[in-house]
Structure 1
């Protein structure tokens, strides 16, 4: 269940701006603010069933975008590759790791990894 929620949140991060206002707001309230369907229904002035339908439709829209564009999949592959490169550099002898150009490359990798945590 947690994997599904994390996957939907990742999809929302990439494609959320493409949802309707009501879908985006419902997704934010449910997935980011952890509101129940009843709480969202009260906030939006609709039924609990309507919120359920909005969320299911929004989730499907996000999945459809990912099926076509693969941005989340690509991002995850890139992050794994960066982490692997970083690990390989960490296994190099100290005298090699201290080379100025390699040191700059490690700093850039750190920036990429730090940036990805913000996204």
Structure 2
């Protein structure tokens, strides 16, 4: 069953945020965190920061566009997903290997998972 589009978008923004948050302004980080991590509404964020709901929306929308632009240029999330897929496939293959090979490869596989 496919994910709900809003949940899919939230998951993507959260992943992009993990990679690129330090490239955003403090205000963009704060608003994205409140909206996507803490599940605040636009109105709640607006009230908390004494600005209009529209201003919050514009900050969040601009930050989302910046995250997507960083990903388009740097592809950190895409590379992470490719590495994860390769590591999972390697782990599956090692499951079919001899116990000796599995025990030798396990520390290296774990070290590779910690790279990200």
> How high is the TM-score relative to the length of structure 1?
0.85
Flag structure 1 segments of 5+ consecutive residues without an equivalent: none
1:111 is displaced (CA, Å) by: 4.3
1:98 is displaced (CA, Å) by: 2.4
CA distance in 2, matches of 1:2, 1:104: 39
Consecutive aligned runs of 4 or more in structure 1 exceeding 4 Å deviation: none
Number of equivalent positions: 111
Flag structure 2 segments of 5+ consecutive residues without an equivalent: 1-5
Residue 104 to residue 43, structure 1, CA distance change in 2 (3 Å): farther
Cα RMSD after superposing both structures: 1.6
> How high is the TM-score relative to the length of structure 2?
0.88
Equivalent of residue 86 in structure 1, options 91, 96, 108? 91
Q: Which residue of 2 aligns with 1:73?
A: 78
